[in-house]
């Protein structure tokens, strides 16, 4: 299987096929039609085997996750996804692996109506980089910079569920049998909150997706908005699986583990009613976890209203060990 056969067999001319792709895979560049009156949102993220995905992860999950994490970034901007690129570095060209990888990738692409329009294929340690593009009306993108004192802080879904997977896989955490599959699914197949991000346009004052843990990601919002915040642990949404190991983990996994890919956003109090109307179409629940404050820094309150100091703050690739 040479490079060009590989591209043709697994990646070229797969559905969905969008009319705004004038020229897709096969030339020196793709030609794409951005709708009139829309801005282009562009995000790119890399998965490295051994870092973002444990060695030996099933290829369909890698394909899914590589696209999902990028669609999650577009969701956090309130952008409507349209196209993506795939830069694939492979240790070897193995038909069965590529078949499964492509299935995971294109199942999600189809579900989200996004088309693969180009990429690059190289030889080396397994690394998958996706670049994803979407559309947003001018001025309506959700950024990290708009939070204001008095805004309420919300998260979608539950926190810390994906963070149970690695300790479980390493045999460091014992989860009841009935929760194990759901935890692995959350970790390997995060579902990007695209619909939720679109519904938050015109409502949220700031938004981010939770890829590195709530503390790290909310921290980016606070920093870029020039504000601080208070959050209440008693309001943090955790899953039933998390509840079963709460006595061992406490709040820290929910606060600092990555890979949840839920949205964290801020909302001016006057838009509360509008949010509740919009939230009818959301996949999971929404939780109000705290409030933006003028004073810089993040204050975490425990169930008794006392300050809580977390043991870790989130994932940082270059943090000193």
Count of residues in contact with ligand ADP, rule CB under 6 A: 13
Q: What whole-number distance in Å separates Cα of residue 25 and Cα of residue 15?
A: 12
User: Residue 86 interacts with ligand ADP (CB under 6 A)?
Assistant: yes
- Annotate each residue in 38-77 with x if it binds ligand ADP (CB under 6 A) or - if it does not, as one string: ----------------------------------------
Tokens of 210: 């939770």
| Minimum CB–partner distance for residue 188 and ligand ADP (Å) | 21
Residue closer to ligand ADP (CB basis): 125 or 202: 125
Least Cα distance to 65 among 25, 107, 113 occurs for 107
Q: Which is nearer to ligand ADP, 30 or 175 (CB)?
A: 30
Nearer to Mg ion, 15 or 120 (CB): 120
Token output for 212? 């590195």
Of the candidate spans 119-127, 148-156, 164-172, 225-233, the one that interacts with Mg ion by CB under 5 A turns out to be: 119-127
Tokens encoding 320 = 């000193």
Note whether 116 binds ligand ADP by CB under 6 A. Answer: yes
Q: Give the one residue of 27, 55, 92, 318 binding ligand ADP; rule: CB under 6 A.
A: 27
Residue 123: Cβ-neighbour burial (10 angstroms; 0-12, 13-18, 19+): exposed
Backbone angles phi, psi at 262, to 5 degrees: -85, 170
Q: Sign of torsion, CA 169 174 177 179?
A: negative
Residue 161, token pair as written in the block: 């569920």
Whether 207 contacts 200, CB under 8 Å: yes
CB 147 within 8 A of CB 116: no
Under rule CB under 5 A, residue 3 binds Mg ion: no
The tokens describing 146, both together, are 């708009």
Here's the x/- map for Mg ion, 284-303, by CB under 5 A: it reads as --------------------
Question: Taking CB within 5 to 8 Å according to partner kind, which of Mg ion, ligand ADP, none is near residue 116?
Answer: ligand ADP
- Which residue is nearest to Mg ion, using beta carbons? 120
Among 33, 120, 295, 316, binds Mg ion (CB under 5 A): 120
Question: Diameter of the chain by CA atoms?
Answer: 63
- Provide the binding-site residues for ligand ADP, judged by CB under 6 A: 7, 11, 25-28, 86, 88, 116, 118-121
């Amino acid at each position: 299987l040479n490079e060009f056969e590989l591209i043709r067999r697994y990646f070229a001319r797969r559905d969905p096929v969008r009319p705004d792709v004038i020229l897709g895979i096969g030339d020196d560049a793709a030609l794409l039609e951005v709708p009139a009156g829309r801005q282009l949102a562009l995000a790119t993220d890399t998965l490295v085997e051994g870092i973002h995905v444990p060695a030996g992860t099933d290829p369909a999950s890698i394909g899914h996750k590589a696209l999902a994490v990028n669609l999650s970034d577009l969701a956090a901007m309130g952008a409507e996804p349209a196209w993506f690129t795939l830069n694939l570095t492979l240790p070897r060209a193995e038909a069965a692996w590529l078949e499964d990888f492509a299935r995971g990738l294109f199942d999600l692409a189809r579900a989200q109506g996004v088309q693969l329009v180009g990429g690059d294929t190289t030889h080396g340690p397994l690394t998958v980089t996706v670049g994803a593009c979407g559309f947003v009306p001018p001025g309506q993108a959700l950024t990290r910079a708009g939070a204001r004192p008095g805004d309420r802080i919300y998260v979608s879904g539950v926190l810390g569920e994906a963070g149970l997977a690695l300790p479980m896989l390493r045999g460091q955490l014992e989860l009841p049998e009935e929760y194990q599959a759901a935890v692995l699914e959350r970790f390997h197949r995060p579902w990007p909150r695209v619909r939720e991000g679109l519904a938050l346009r015109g409502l949220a004052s700031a938004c981010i997706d939770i890829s590195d843990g709530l503390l790290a990601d909310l921290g980016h919002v606070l920093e870029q908005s020039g504000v601080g915040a208070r959050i209440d642990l008693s309001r943090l949404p955790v899953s039933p699986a998390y509840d079963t190991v709460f006595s061992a983990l406490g709040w820290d996994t929910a606060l600092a583990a990555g890979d949840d890919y839920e949205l964290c956003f801020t909302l001016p109090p006057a838009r509360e009613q509008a949010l509740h109307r919009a939230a009818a179409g959301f996949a999971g629940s929404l939780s109000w976890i705290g409030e933006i404050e003028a004073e810089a820094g993040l204050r975490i309150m425990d169930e008794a209203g006392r300050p809580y100091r977390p043991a870790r703050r989130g994932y940082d690739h270059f943090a000193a060990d």
